Amino acid sequence: RGPDTYSPTGRTTGARQRDVAQAGAYLTTAQGARLYETDHSLKAGPRGPVLLQDHHLREKVTHFDHERIPERVVHARGAAAHGVFRGYGAAAGISKAAFLAEGVETPVFVRFSTVLGSRGSADTVRDTRGFATKFYTDEGVFDLVGNNIPVFFIQDAIKFPDVIHAGKPHPDREIPQAQSAHDTFWDFVTLHTEATHHTLWNMSDRGIPRSYRMMEGFGVHTFRLVNAEGDTTLVKFHWKPKLGVHSLVWEEAQITAGMDPDFHRRDLADAIEAGAFPEWELGVQTFPDTEDQMFQGIDLLDATKLVPEELAPVRPIGLMTLNANPSNFFAETEQVAFHLGHLVPGIDVTNDPLLQGRLFSYLDTQITRLGGPNFGQLPINRTHAPVNDMLRDGMHQTAVHRGVAPYRPHSLDGGCPFLAGEETGAYIEVPVEVSASRKARDAAVSFDDHFSQARLFWLSMTATEREHIVAAYTFELGKCWEEAVKERALMVLANIAPELCTQVAVGLGLPVPEATVSLAPVGPSPALSQLGKEWPVD
C-beta of 508: minimal distance to ligand HEM in Å?
30
The Cα diameter of the chain in Å comes to 88
Residue nearer to ligand HEM on the CB measure, 88 or 152: 152
Report 279-318 residues binding ligand HEM (CB under 6 A).
Answer: 303
The one-letter code for the residue type at 45 is G
Asked if 210 and 253 touch (Cβ cutoff 8 Å), the reply is no
Q: Which of residues 478-507 bind ligand HEM (CB under 6 A)?
A: none
Residue among 284, 226, 144 nearest 429 (CA): 226
197 interacts with ligand HEM by CB under 6 A: no
Residues 6+ apart with CB under 8 A from 103: 86, 87, 89
Q: Are strands 232-241 and 217-218 parallel, antiparallel or unpaired?
A: antiparallel
- Scan residues 409-468 and list those touching ligand HEM (CB under 6 A): none
Q: Pick out residues in 102-121 that bind ligand HEM (CB under 6 A).
A: 111, 113
∠ CA 84-85-91, nearest 5°, is 170
By the rule CB under 6 A, 81 interacts with ligand HEM: no
What is the three-state SS of 427-465?
CCCCCCCCCCCCCCCCCCHHHCCCCHHHHHHHHCCCHHH
Nearer to ligand HEM, 130 or 521 (CB): 130
Asked if 329 is part of the footprint of ligand HEM (rule: CB under 6 A), the reply reads no
The reply, when asked if residue 210 is annotated as ligand binding, is no
Exactly one of 56, 75, 82, 210 binds ligand HEM (CB under 6 A); that residue is 75
- Taking CB positions, which residue lies at the least distance from ligand HEM? 130
226 binding ligand HEM? (CB under 6 A): no
Whether 388 is catalytic is no
Quick one: 272 or 354, whose CB is closer to ligand HEM? 354
Determine, following the binding rule CB under 6 A, whether residue 337 of this chain makes contact with ligand HEM.
yes
Check binding of 73 to ligand HEM (CB under 6 A). Answer: yes
Query: Which one of residues 107, 357, 478, 498 is an interface residue with ligand HEM (CB under 6 A)?
Result: 357
Quote the CA–CA distance of 278 and 299 in Å, as a whole number: 33
Of 41, 361, 383, 530, the one binding ligand HEM by CB under 6 A: 361
Which of 75, 455 has the CB closer to ligand HEM?
75
Task: Find the shortest distance in angstroms from Cβ 218 to ligand HEM.
Answer: 7
List 84, 121, 160, 517, residue binding ligand HEM (CB under 6 A):
160
Q: How many residues bind ligand HEM (CB under 6 A)?
A: 28
CB nearer to ligand HEM: give 145 or 282.
Answer: 145
Instruction: Return the residues of window 136-155 that contact ligand HEM according to CB under 6 A.
Output: 145-147, 152
The CB-of-115 to ligand HEM minimum distance in angstroms stands at 8
Strand partners, 316: 283
Q: Per CB under 6 A, does 366 bind ligand HEM?
A: yes
Candidate list 56, 82, 147, 381, residue with the active-site label:
147
The CB-of-109 to ligand HEM minimum distance in angstroms stands at: 10
Distance (Å, rounded) from C-alpha 219 to C-alpha 75? 16
Peptide bond into 169 cis (omega under 30): no
Beta-carbon count within 10 A of 180 CB: 16
Q: Which amino acid is at 331?
A: A
| Helices 526-534 and 452-459, packing angle to 10 deg | 30
| Under 8 Å between Cβ of 203 and 473 | yes
Q: Residue 366: phi, psi to the nearest 5?
A: -70, -25
Q: Which is nearer to ligand HEM, 245 or 531 (CB)?
A: 245
Query: Closest distance between ligand HEM and the C-beta of residue 113, in Å?
Result: 5
Cβ atoms of 394 and 371 within 8 Å: the answer is no
Task: Give, for 57, the enclosing helix (H) or strand (E).
Answer: helix 55-65
Using alpha carbons, list the distances in angstroms from residue 114 to 76, 267, 280, 286.
Answer: 7, 15, 19, 29
- Angle ∠(4,381,350) on CA atoms, nearest 5: 135
Is residue 79 close enough to count as binding ligand HEM by CB under 6 A?
no
| φ, ψ for residue 449, nearest 5 deg | -80, 115
To the query of whether residue 147 is one of the catalytic residues in this protein, the response is yes
Interface with ligand HEM (CB under 6 A): 72-75, 78, 111, 113, 130, 132, 145-147, 152, 157, 160, 220, 303, 336-338, 354, 357-358, 361-362, 365-366, 369
Annotated binding site for heme: 72, 111, 160, 358, 362, 369
Q: Which residues are catalytic?
A: 75, 147
